[in-house]
Amino acid sequence: MRYGAKILFEDVGVVFQRGRRYGLTGPNGSGKSTFMKVLTGELDAQKGNVVRPKRVGVLSQDQYAFDAFRVIDTVIMGNRSLWAALEERDRLYSKPDLTDDEGMRLGELEGVVAENDGYTAESDAAILLDGLDIPESLHERMMSELQGGEKVRVLLAQALFGGPDALLLDEPTNSLDLESIHWLQDFLNRYQGTLIVISHDRHFLNSVTTHTADIDYQTIIIYTGGYDDMVMAKTQIRSRLESQNAQREKKIEQLNEFIARFSAGTRSSQVMSRKKEVERLQTSDLARSNIARPFIRFEMKRPSGRHALEVKGISKSYPEVEVIKNFTVSISRGEKVGIIGRNGAGKTTMLRSLLTGMPGADFDPFTIDGGTVEWGHEVQIGYFPQDPRATIQSNLTLLDWLQQWDPQAGVEELRGVLGQMLFARDEALKPTQAMSGGEVARLMFCKLMLQKPNVLVFDEPTNHLDLESINALNIALQKFDGTLFLVTHDHDLLEETATRIWHIDDNGLEDFRGNYEEYQTALAAKG
């Protein structure tokens, strides 16, 4: 598949075997989603063919395609032959009189329904929905009544329904909270068919996949093991090839020196043999990798005081739900707080409540119902909202937008920061409204690197980032010497950065002094 002069992949021959679970990896723009569409049949390859099993479960990317259907029916539609049989059967049963042929047809349809476990379809669909945190109260609702994150989970249940021979999932963890992601991991690890999954969640890939199909060098190479195994094997192979090339180049240099010294002399036969050896040893150009890694470093202009934050008795409610009740906490400089909970539990509300009265706030005002929030001496806050695009003005170039956060910075310094975040030189003049989701996130990191705050408040910063960018962010947050408040559904990011966990649920907010692994151990001990 190519677009104009750009080749995504060429002459790819690969077999995805039953019982194996493949992670489809590659940087943004390498062709992962395009390849997945070729596998599902949504796109035709420009050359070659794809052989598919009879029943394939596909995660639909169109959240609005099923708005006219009930939630439970949308899930059952994942088994197309069953759904078609159920629809035709119901249509025949609704007729007052049946012909003999229609009666025979009904018998055939009942056979199809039985073969596809149609008599337990609704209860099977309900089990999937419950696992993905879609409560029973929503099962009879219309899809149009659901929120975006809920729709994604229903469509995921649709892909999983009916035990398809192959599952093709493009970013299935998007809009899922950690609990739902862990449920999905367990489900997929029990799945017996062929799984091909695109994900930017490193922990998810390492937990689920048995093999990795990596799109790079304009082809697809299968590696054994999860994402980390693939990176190690790929690095070792690349290093070996580079080492072999370096040794060849050194040998060629020595041979050329001999040829230059004796080509005019009496040792012509030796010169000829060395010329032939040079031809044989000519180094092959190594194909260039598509992978590009951003460089993220969060520095501080100056550290804050020893006490970064004091919260006393804060509360926040919405109609019919109390999110925060009389919460008191003290945060010292350098603590890194990971905030977790189910979708809708109030994680963003918690962050916004903490930011009440934040010095130099550049977002909509937010009020709490009671209590006080006091930021410490010399605190400077850098905020990454859940929807960063809403905070970026349109009709500005990236350079102009970035300039306002540090008017003293020169153009070359700004271009340097943009370059660190993989914006090519001419992209600095790109209009802000033309950015992709990943570019918006990387531009926000540019802003924070210019501002140099000593407190970072991040609300799901990994949305739209590829694995390389998430890994770079993870390392940057581990090295950050300031204070961090982090909402994320990325297991590794949470586990490797947070030193303290706040868990929000219907019972309120639990403050655990320890990292995520220690929190999980304590939770398991409680039973």
**Predicted local confidence at residue 68, as pLDDT:** 94
361 pLDDT above the threshold of 70:
no
Look at strands 219-224 and 211-216 and give their pairing.
Answer: antiparallel
Do residues 298 and 449 lie in contact, with contact meaning Cβ atoms separated by under 8 Å? yes
**Exposure of 504 in the CB half-sphere (CA atoms within 13 A):** 23
pLDDT confidence bin for 216, thresholds 50/70/90: confident
Two structure tokens written together for 220: 């697809």
Q: Which of 40, 44, 46, 50 is nearest to 14 (CA)?
A: 50
Task: Name the more confident of 257 and 440.
Answer: 440
494 pLDDT above the threshold of 70:
yes
pLDDT confidence bin for 506, thresholds 50/70/90: confident
Average pLDDT over residues 195-219: 93
For residue 188, the 8-state DSSP code is: H
Average pLDDT over residues 128-146: 93
pLDDT confidence bin for 163, thresholds 50/70/90: confident
14 pLDDT above the threshold of 70:
yes
Q: What stretches of 219-289 adopt beta strand conformation (E)?
A: 219-224
Q: Which of 143, 130, 136, 138 is nearest to 62 (CA)?
A: 143
Measured CA to CA, the distance from residue 118 to residue 104 in angstroms comes to 19
Q: Which CATH superfamily is domain 307-526 in?
A: P-loop containing nucleotide triphosphate hydrolases (3.40.50.300)
Measured CA to CA, the distance from residue 165 to residue 152 in angstroms comes to 22
How remote is the C-alpha of 211 from its chain's centroid?
18
Two structure tokens written together for 520: 């999980």
* Averaged pLDDT of the chain: 89
Give φ, ψ of 338 to 5 degrees.
Answer: -95, 125
For residue 505, the 8-state DSSP code is: E
Do residues 381 and 358 lie in contact, with contact meaning Cβ atoms separated by under 8 Å? yes
Task: Name the more confident of 429 and 262.
Answer: 429
Q: What percent of the chain has pLDDT over 90?
A: 62
**Predicted local confidence at residue 252, as pLDDT:** 78
362 pLDDT above the threshold of 60:
no
**Identity (one letter) of the amino acid at 513?**
R
Each residue's pLDDT tens digit, 309-342: 999 999 999 888 889 999 999 999 999 999 999 8
Each residue's pLDDT tens digit, 292-302: 789 999 999 99
Each residue's pLDDT tens digit, 47-74: 999 999 988 999 887 778 899 999 999 9
Each residue's pLDDT tens digit, 31-41: 898 999 999 98
Q: Which value, to the nearest 10 degrees, does the dihedral of the CA atoms of residues 253, 256, 261, 266 take?
A: 140
**Predicted local confidence at residue 266, as pLDDT:** 64
How remote is the C-alpha of 108 from its chain's centroid?
44
pLDDT confidence bin for 283, thresholds 50/70/90: low
pLDDT confidence bin for 22, thresholds 50/70/90: very high
**Predicted local confidence at residue 260, as pLDDT:** 81
375 pLDDT above the threshold of 80:
yes
In 263-365, alpha helices (H): 268-281, 347-354
**Exposure of 177 in the CB half-sphere (CA atoms within 13 A):** 20
Measured CA to CA, the distance from residue 324 to residue 505 in angstroms comes to 10
Look at strands 321-332 and 307-318 and give their pairing.
Answer: antiparallel
Q: Which CATH superfamily is domain 2-230 in?
A: P-loop containing nucleotide triphosphate hydrolases (3.40.50.300)
Each residue's pLDDT tens digit, 415-472: 999 999 999 888 999 999 989 888 999 999 999 999 999 999 999 999 888 888 999 9
**Predicted local confidence at residue 492, as pLDDT:** 94
Each residue's pLDDT tens digit, 96-121: 888 889 889 999 999 999 998 999 99
Task: Name the more confident of 149 and 476.
Answer: 476
**Predicted local confidence at residue 360, as pLDDT:** 57
